[in-house]
Every structure is written in structure tokens, then in C-alpha cells.
A = this chain, B = another copy of it.
């Protein structure tokens, strides 16, 4: 059966309840969708019943699963039948076409590397992140994709160029942004900035007409949303992503502090609440379901650990779309064309 999406029913803070609820919603919306649910069969059947879903559904039972607090490496070793591992094996055996998981991010990335195959010609996979920006244009939808944010530490120019192709296909085909703008995160706008690796990556990307590469972007462009795709090595992507999360937490804490301490702040915040709600609706993470892990023979969408049913529903729909649009095929093709074009540059002599 084609278009089969594997679902890690046990991953995430609200698993399996919100996971199953979201999948059932996706199944009701998408007649072409098939799923295989991996996890505790009793728990899954119970949730399916709660959601009044009585059609036949494929379930692969396992009693092991990795928690959000588990150490990725040891958990994968200690739990050979963890739901994420079982799910990825199904993918690699061709029994499913893509995967959605809201589980432990580190374990998911590591399990992908262990159980899937890298796309031929690619040297590094990438974990992407979708983050809200200040732009609320219909095109960008107020979100941007950054990659890599954690699958690598440092990257070569070739690897960064590969990331641009992967990000571009995902954002255009799945998030529906026409010719998404791509920026190379750097310490200045000039082409030669950032040292030899980044200036070489800039050269590679500048010559790719298939890509809408606008050049180097700086730290300030990230929250402003001046591009839909930010290309960077995993070390920098990780620092940037956690910094944005940290700023978010600081703002929230200041709000709480204000709410407790000052009557004028309290009144002010109450008045602001309505507006904040509107902004929040525009930047609702669950709209996008999750961020892709790109570079393997099958696409994996990693939803946030706090994903609710809506996020899982949208992640499942995005996974279906990725299969229907053959994202992996497109990426494979563009990576190989790029590598062939630069065959002489890449000779290891």
C-alpha cells in the first residue's frame, strides 16, 4: 500500500493520547493516507476507540520506548525494540515511506543514522528547525527553516551547499513557499566573509540558478525573517536556536514577574493579551507539525516534544505530502547533479 506514514505512537510529552488523536484527524482529512502505528498495541487501540476510529489500521507492537529525558546513545543501545528504532527499520525495509515522531530529538537523529541510509553523494544529514520570524507575509507565513541545528558540528562548503538544496525543496514543496529565499549565515554580507569554507560555500550557491540564494545573512536577519531558509553548520545552528528559545523564556519570565509585581503592568498585560493572542495564532508552531531530518533515503519529521494533536495531524499531512511530491527523489537528483558539476573540485587528491 503506497503513501504509508509510520507514526511513533510513544514519542512526545503527550503520547500516545495526542499522537493518536492527531493521526485520526489526518486520516479523516486525507483519503490517500495510510499509516502504521508503532507502540503499545493496547494503549493505541484504547486511544483509537476514544477517538471513535473503527477502521482497520496497521499496528506494530512494542513495549519499549525512549523517554524525553533518556540519554540518546545509551537508550538506543539498552532498548533495541524502542518504538523509534522499530519505526525506522520499517522505513528502511520499505514497509513505510516516511516517519513522524515527537520523541527525544537526539535519539531520533541518532536512530536515523543507525537505521536509514544516507542519500548517495551526500556526506552529512541535517536536522532542520522551523522558527517564527517577524515577517507575516503570506509567502513566508511568518516562519523560516534553519539547517543544520544539531546533526553536525562543523561542515565543509560542499556540505553546506547540499543543505541549501535540501532546505529549498522542503520549504517550496511542503511549506508551499514559491522560490524560498536562502541565506548563508555569516559574520558579514560581503562574499568573502567568514573564512575559506563560507566563502567557498557562497561561490557554490551563487552559481545555482535552481536556488534563490540571496547571499550572506547576519544574525539580525534571523529573527527578522529576511530569508525563508538559513544555512549554517550544526554548531552555530544549535547556538542560534537555543538562543532564540532562551530569549523567548526570558520574555515569558519578565511577563510573569511583571504580572506579580506591579498593578500597572498587570493592567497593561491584560490589555495586551488580546493582541498577543493574535500574534501567537500567526506563529502557531502546530501549524507546521514539525521540522524535517533531511538527507536519508526516507524523510523523517521530528515534531516538538510538546506537540498536541493539531501538530501531529499537520506533521502527518506534511509527511504524506513529502511522499507524494517525492522530496527524497528531488533531493537525490539535485545533489547528484551538483556533485557531478563540481566533480573536479571534489576530487580527493
Show the binding face of A for B, using Cβ within 8 Å: 134, 150, 153-154, 185, 187-188, 194-195, 218-224, 234-236, 238-247, 249-250, 253-254, 258, 262, 264-265, 267-272, 274-275, 279
Contacts and interface: CB of A to CB of B under 8 A. Distances in A.
Contacts of A220: 242-243, 245-246, 249
A245 B185 CA distance: 15
A242 B268 contact: no
Contacts of A238: 187-188, 218-219
Nearest to A242: B219
Report the copy number of this chain in the oligomer.
Answer: 2
B268 A243 contact: no
Contacts of A219: 238-246
Nearest to A241: B219
Nearest to A275: B265
B234 A195 contact: no
A221 B219 CA distance: 17
Contacts of A262: 274-275
The 5 closest A-B pairs by CB, nearest first: A268-B271, A219-B242, A220-B246, A219-B243, A268-B272
B246 A222 contact: yes
A134 B254 contact: yes
Nearest to A250: B134
Contact of A234 (B150, B187, B234, B245): B187
26 contacts: A134-B250, A134-B254, A153-B187, A153-B195, A154-B195, A194-B235, A218-B238, A218-B246, A219-B239, A220-B242, A220-B245, A220-B246, A220-B249, A239-B239, A239-B240, A240-B243, A243-B244, A262-B274, A262-B275, A264-B271, A264-B274, A264-B275, A265-B272, A265-B274, A265-B275, A267-B271
Contacts of A267: 268, 271
